[in-house]
Amino acid sequence: MPTHPSIGILGSGSWGTAVAHVIRSNGHPTLLWGRDREVLDAVARQRVNPRYLPEHTLAEGIETTTELHEVATRCQLIFVVVPTKVLRAVVSELSAFLHPDHLLVSCSKGLESGSAKRMTEVLREETCCLRVGAMSGPNLAAEVMRGDPAATVVASRYEEVVARATRVLMGRRFRVYGNHDVLGVELAGAMKNIVAIAAGASAGLGFGDNTLSLLVTRGLAEMRRIGVRLGADPMTFAGLAGVGDLMVTCASPLSRNHQVGVRLARGQSMDQIRAEMRQVAEGVSTTAVVHELTRKLELPAHITRAVYGLAHEGRHPEAVLGEVMAVEAMYEVDQPIAAR
């Protein structure tokens, strides 16, 4: 039986690098995997990720590799921090080296295009590992690297996954909370990106805090409505993965999804935005997945529909805004108000 002295992180983007930094700062041997050798060399030798976090110094001693078999051999606990669109391919490649004793934690906030599957579902399908979990919350990589107090939630049906992840992540400035509602945590983490695009569009149109508050509040109601219909615990949406992450991504210009919304409102096309952004904004593809899902379920999802119009149909922001504001009056619990 091989030993597993290190904690593995798949993905050397901004969040993967930040997770590696947190774990290594807590004194745990850390192995960061990626495909860009230049980035990995800089992380190991210069303690900086020049592409995604150039202004932040990383914890000393983060090891790096481009070999998936090395991660599987040296690490029992592995955090999967790659974009949703490539997660299945990466994990499928990794699966040849995994054993049932491995623990996998998805940190990717999105739903798979075509299947609408959550990332833990993909992990279970592509590997022999049963003990999987999801990590989500208001975690802007730059602020975590700066050492600002922050927190995350780790969700799993297996106590060992929550306990092990908490042990390596919990530190002086980074707290971890457990949750058993994997479904709710993953759905919240994915759907909040849709609302963040809407909030960015609002900012791009020059609207103020009243509009932002409207979007956050009704966006949360939309997220909860969809989540509960799919079987999630409604209380999850009041936690870190729900309203916590929603507040950050809707208000902060550091949020990639917020940036997408701003640019759409200012007349840029999605092709232009994709070409200029270094990292993936998961909300764009998630919007298409959730739009189709709510259509099939016959669930009202006015904000999702509006963002779909902006990002996937090239509609003008003012036209979309007019439709959203003209939605039939209702109570906050989604009952229509009868005409009198």
C-alpha closest to that of 249 among 275, 215, 276, 277: 215
Phi, psi of 255, rounded to the nearest 5 degrees = -70, 125
- Amino acid making up residue 326: A
What is the token pair recorded at 258? Answer: 């917020």
Cβ contact 197:313 at 8 Å: no
The conformational region for residue 22 under phi > 0 = left, psi -120 to 50 = alpha, else beta, is: alpha
Residues written for the chain = 340
Q: How far apart are the first and last CA of the chain?
A: 73
User: What's the CA gap between 59 and 20, in Å, rounded?
Assistant: 8
Tell me whether residue 192 is one of the annotated catalytic residues.
Answer: yes
Phi, psi of 171, rounded to the nearest 5 degrees = -145, -170
User: What's the CA gap between 64 and 101, in Å, rounded?
Assistant: 22
Element (H, E) at 286: helix 282-297
Catalytic site residue from 85, 109, 117, 192: 192
Q: Write out the catalytic residue numbers.
A: 192
